[in-house]
Amino acid sequence: MRLRIALQKRFEGFDLEADFSTSSARLGIFGPSGSGKSTLVGLLAGLEEPDAGLIELDGEPLYCSKRRISVPSEKRRISVVFQHAHLFPHMSARRNLLYGYRRTPAAARRIDPADLVGVLELEPLLGRDVTTLSGGERQRVALGRAVLASPRLLLMDEPLSALDEGLKYQIIPYLRAVFERFGIPLVFISHSMNEMRLMSDEVIVLRRGRVAARTTPEELARSSMGRSRAGYTNLLKASEPQAGDGAFLYRWGQNRLITSDGGTTPEALFELSSREIMLFKRHPEAISARNLFGCRIVELFDLDGRVGVELECGGERLVVQVVKEAATELGLQPGGEVHAAIKASSLRKVY
């Protein structure tokens, strides 16, 4: 996907001036509420008209004020998944799903409905009245509906923020599965750092209607780590779960990870705050923390008076933050070895 945007739109008390181009297949747009993210979605999808500028998708102009081009929304083939599912209340889940599919010319259809129903596990919902579906189910149907229109670009406007904390991350594996299975380029809009890291490769940071930065999700997370109370959130992808005595055992890179929270799904994602990891210079004889990994220090970085430490442990990365004195006492140096201890209960299961 190649997307070029140079847009101006004025509102009362707010104006948007976005100018960037990208070829990233998973673009994140990050910013606080009121930064212009949703306006940008409306302009991209053709639901709102810019005052001036240009939108080009794969070389084709969708909007160009100079050449007086403005492709109508229904012809852009850009699907939107909104914050709330906005399913058509008078249609069954099946008819909702097929709404866009039926309006896509046969030659442009690239996605088999049966295939999609399988990926999103929608089979049991198909005959249901959409008003009886739960929030997560509705959002899955909405995602399916958008994908079945075989869009050239999928816009996701805070698709998870209306869901409960627990439900939120249950949707993410579906989002990723859809992306991996059908390869539709997506623009993911969110104010959540974790969602950015899970759903995008490149991030445009919007602030007060302007592009404030262009970065990667990883850099974004690190740059805000010093300011955030939770520090940096490590996301640990674990697999091959085994239930043990009051705990779960996972494989994480070449390590074995013991967690108190777990499940039976073959893959799981855990959150771990950079503040909840303890470092030891030598291998401690016995500690209560259930996970102890031998790690190599990759990099040290400054964090407003504290020190961030990037570690490599058994093929995986961890970011830890310590106070300066601790860093001096432990003699932390890039290339050095340390042991990192993590309590089983500090690992919070995301999905």
The residues that touch another protein, with contacts defined as CB under 8 A, are: 45-47, 72-80, 82, 84, 86, 88-90, 99-100, 103-104, 131, 145-146, 149
Q: Return the number of the residue (5 or 327) whose C-beta is nearest another protein.
A: 5
Q: Return the number of the residue (20 or 99) whose C-beta is nearest another protein.
A: 99
Q: How far is the CB of 182 from another protein (least distance, A)?
A: 16
- Both tokens of 119, joined, read 């990926």
Q: How far is the CB of 345 from another protein (least distance, A)?
A: 41
Q: How far is the CB of 305 from another protein (least distance, A)?
A: 46
- Helix axis angle for 135-148 and 165-182, nearest 10°, is 20
Q: How far is the CB of 80 from another protein (least distance, A)?
A: 5
b/e map 317-339, b = 16+ CB within 10 Å: ebbbbbeeeebeebebeeeeebb
β-bridge mates for residue 183, sequence order: none
Q: Return the number of the residue (103 or 282) whose C-beta is nearest another protein.
A: 103
Q: Return the number of the residue (96 or 291) whose C-beta is nearest another protein.
A: 96
Q: How far is 239 from 237, CA to CA, in rounded Å? A: 7
Q: How far is the CB of 77 from another protein (least distance, A)?
A: 7
Q: How far is the CB of 142 from another protein (least distance, A)?
A: 8
User: Do the Cβ atoms of 130 and 90 come closer than 8 Å?
Assistant: no
Q: How far is the CB of 146 from another protein (least distance, A)?
A: 7
Q: Return the number of the residue (30 or 101) whose C-beta is nearest another protein.
A: 101
Q: Return the number of the residue (86 or 281) whose C-beta is nearest another protein.
A: 86
Q: Return the number of the residue (14 or 88) whose C-beta is nearest another protein.
A: 88
Q: How far is 50 from 65, CA to CA, in rounded Å? A: 8
Q: How far is the CB of 231 from another protein (least distance, A)?
A: 37
Q: Return the number of the residue (55 or 220) whose C-beta is nearest another protein.
A: 55
b/e map 254-284, b = 16+ CB within 10 Å: ebbbbbeebeeeeebbbbbbbbbbbbeeeee
Q: How far is 270 from 237, CA to CA, in rounded Å? A: 7
